[in-house]
Amino acid sequence: MSSLVRPAMLCVTVLLGVPAQAGSPAQPAPTLAQATSPAAPATPRRTTPTSDLTSAEEKTLAALFTKVRPASLRIEQCPPTNCTEPNGVGSAVLISADGLALTAYHVIAKARALSAQTVDKKRYAVTVVGFDEQRDLALVKVNVPSGTPFLKLTATAPRVGDIQLAVGNGNGAFLRSKTGRLTALDADAGRADFPPGTLELDAPLIPGDSGGPIVNAKGELAGIVSYIRLAGSPRNPIYRSYAVPVTTTNALVAELRTGVKRDAPQIGVGLDSAFLPAFTLDAEGFKLLSDALKLGDTPGAFFTNVTAGSPAARAGLKPLRLNADQERESGDIVTEVNGKRVLNFSDFQYAVRSYRVGDTVTLTVLRDGKTLKLPLVLTGSTQINN
């Protein structure tokens, strides 16, 4: 695993929800909940070189857009009666005649109020039916009028090379279309806090498109937009978009219909943006950083903040503090989670997320030259204010 992001290369993974008052996603410090930081390249299991759409394919998708757009939604974090300044903007798509709609979980996460706009720009109240944070998928109920169009989920597994239509609200636009091909199946962001097993496509999606539909040539819903990756070099950036796959046989969609609300497990520690290059440090990279910051000889995960009232706070975990010479004054280094070795913050995330909310895990921690064993109970992300 690469230790640092080289200046000549870009490798950024970004969830596609967007704050209402910004043209790009917020850049919070990475936490054991959700982060936007450099990461290892996505590792799709099946991939193919991108080929441009033919004129016939473009015409097919353009005609499809007129049918798909009325089933698509603009999701805003605000009450439907007062939405002049929403806290966030995303997308969604109706999947039933009674107003059920799918969106990305991070579009609706921790929202105090939600509203949806249909193609006629009328607003309707939204309630959350179910969600799975790790899969970045949520099912909501929208109080749309009877007869509002909806999309059926596909029964056919997607194939690399398939043409796809996306509809979303990227960068503040209203229900715009973007097109491309599937370039890989079962892709992975290389991050514990992004959904695994996603569809990769070359459609140029941007913040605000999150939660919108990915539709196949038959007009069937094949995926829900989740995140993008920007790689390559500053002069020659390479964009890839990723969507959570959905089908008529999708067990997760069936679970959400029953009201399942599944938080990702957390302990409540984070890493300031100044340390983003250290997110995936390998042992050699840790040694180089330790030479400067005096982190010690044993590689592990360090963190710069602990959320008050969190399991980490209750266990007494100590964040990194530097003195005037930019050397460690105090701060724990986590080396194991239930005996599993961790080398960096990314490893720490994966280890924690391999358990469930309510599980007890024991952290092996280096502090002031001593090895400590600290048990703590994992909590859900909605119970932690990161």
Average pLDDT over residues 81-89: 89
Percentage above 90 pLDDT, the chain: 75
At residue 32 the predicted structure's pLDDT band, cuts being 50, 70 and 90, is: very low
Say whether pLDDT at 116 is over 80.
yes
CA distance 185 to 43: 10
At residue 13 the predicted structure's pLDDT band, cuts being 50, 70 and 90, is: low
pLDDT of residue 34: 32
Say whether pLDDT at 123 is over 60.
yes
Say whether pLDDT at 186 is over 80.
yes
Average pLDDT over residues 322-343: 95
pTM score: 0.84
pLDDT of residue 14: 64
Decide which of 312 and 10 is more confident: 312
pLDDT of residue 340: 97
At residue 273 the predicted structure's pLDDT band, cuts being 50, 70 and 90, is: confident
Contact yes or no for 373/362 (Cβ under 8 A): yes
142: nearest Cα among 197, 109, 179, 100: 100
**Residue that has been written with the tokens 């924690």 in this structure:** 352
Say whether pLDDT at 187 is over 50.
yes
Contact yes or no for 337/351 (Cβ under 8 A): yes
Average pLDDT over residues 95-111: 96
